[in-house]
Structure 1
Amino acid sequence: MNLHWLLRMRRWVQHPPNPRGVMLVLVVVAVCAALFAVERYVGWPDWMSAEPDGPMRMPR
């Protein structure tokens, strides 16, 4: 571990982030985990897919 990370940890201990910011990060992580679980175990519906229906063609 280098000096930069030690100074960053010291700053977090002396000035912790506010609870709303921590909650926001936890909510984003929970949403990402839920989307991963749906994709992994249930499957991904076709209407949510970003892939085109046909073959890719270059526009003229």
Structure 2
Amino acid sequence: MNFRWLLRAKRWAQNPPSEKQVKLFLVILAACIAIGLIEHYIGWPDWAKTERARVR
């Protein structure tokens, strides 16, 4: 383990993020997971897909 990561962990333990920041992170994480699941199981509609460029 890198020494810098230990210092960063020490700072996080001494001064943890606020509850508002944790909630924001969890909302963003849930949105990303939801988008990934929709893409995997249902797929995207045609209007949301990009067209592949032709390679010559």
What's the TM-score once normalised by structure 2's chain length? 0.85
Q: How many percent of aligned residue pairs carry the same amino acid?
A: 46
Q: Larger deviation: 40-49 or 12-21?
A: 40-49
Runs of 4+ in 1 over 6 A off after TM superposition: none
Structure 1 residue 52: Cα displacement:
3.8
Q: Distance in 2 between matches of 1:40 and 1:32?
A: 12
CA root-mean-square deviation = 1.6
- Unmatched 5+ stretches in structure 2: none
Match of 2:48? Answer: 48
What's the TM-score once normalised by structure 1's chain length? 0.80
Highest CA radius of gyration, 1 or 2?
1
Matched positions, count: 54
